[in-house]
Amino acid sequence: MTKNKLIKFGFIMAAAMNIGGVLLFSRFFTNSMINELDPVVMSNFGLLMIVIWGLAYLASAFITSNIKWLAGAFVIEKLVYVVAWSLWLANNNLDDVYDKDVFAGIFYSIYGINDFVFMVFFAWVFLTHIKAPNR
């Protein structure tokens, strides 16, 4: 797979995870347990914004030049979610979440890991394009 195809695939996967993950685990915004467990970051508005970020990743998959600064912005966005998830984990017990709702438990178990993986991907895109002024 060429570098450009890999980048396109990565952006599409990031979009799929954001859009599909939120819609699946929130049961199309009806799973109130996700909201209750983190009412600031994971309110229905917050979940909708995660879907919107997914749409931005999808649109980015079709940009063929000057992607570095957009990828850099995505690194920062993902870092914010990784920090938020880490702080949430430090103050909550996943076993209690699973006892209340399995979908919420899975969501809170994986969302920070997912965001970390894509943060690294976006950082790779940024760093591999930093020296190329026309990419």
SS3 43: coil
Q: Please say if the pLDDT value at position 2 is more than 60.
A: yes
**What's the one-letter identity of residue 80?**
V
Containing 26, the helix (H) or strand (E) segment is none
Q: Which among 97, 10, 21 has a CA at the least distance from the CA of 57?
A: 10
CA distance 3 to 76: 22
Q: How many residues make up the chain in this entry?
A: 135
Q: Which among 47, 53, 46, 44 has a CA at the least distance from the CA of 16?
A: 53
Give tens-digit pLDDT for 78-132. Answer: 999 999 999 999 999 999 999 999 999 999 999 999 999 999 999 999 999 877 5
* Residue pair 37/108 in contact by the 8 Å Cβ criterion: yes
pTM here?
Answer: 0.93
Give tens-digit pLDDT for 39-92. Answer: 999 999 999 999 999 999 999 999 988 899 999 999 999 999 999 999 999 999
